[in-house]
Amino acid sequence: MDLNQVTLPVSDMDAAVSFYLRLGFTQIVDTPHYARFCCPTGKSTFSLSLEQGAFHNGAVIYFEDENLEELVEGLLAKGIEFEQLPVEQPYLWKEAVLRDPSGNRIKLYRAGKNRLDPPWKKVVRYEP
């Protein structure tokens, strides 16, 4: 299996699309109620779905970039605001935190080999 996409709820499609374009994503679907984006590298996509009523999204979406500090500096220059600038975490990832205009939490990070192979790795598979 491979992950196809993650869909985030948004309250203002125009503001959300503008925000994700400023982050550097490429829009591949554009409708009044749904937008989809490709990541700048790799094959990953994510989408936005317009919600009519109040909502709370507790999910966090992560985007990895090997040049995290340069990415954050460029986004700051574009006026993007961060809740947290890049900080080394105890789980060996460096993370910056921000929110989109609808309040969805985003982490920009760099993990390197620790993303799939941390020192405490344990592989468990279902065996019938």
Q: Dump pLDDT digits (tens) for 3-12.
A: 889 999 999 9
Rounded to whole angstroms, the Cα distance separating 69 from 60 reads 20
CA–CA gap between residue 7 and residue 27 (Å, rounded) = 14
In the chain, where the domains are located: 5-115
Indicate the class that CATH gives domain 5-115. alpha beta
- Which helix or strand (DSSP H or E) is residue 49 part of? strand 45-50
Tokens 């990541």: give the residue. Answer: 39
Chain segment 57-101, per-residue pLDDT in tens: 999 999 999 999 999 999 999 999 999 999 999 999 999 999 999
Round to whole Å and give the CA distance between 128 and 126: 6
CA dist 65 → 41, 45, 69, 77, 107 (Å): 9, 15, 9, 17, 11
- Look at residue 42 in the predicted model and tell me its pLDDT: 87
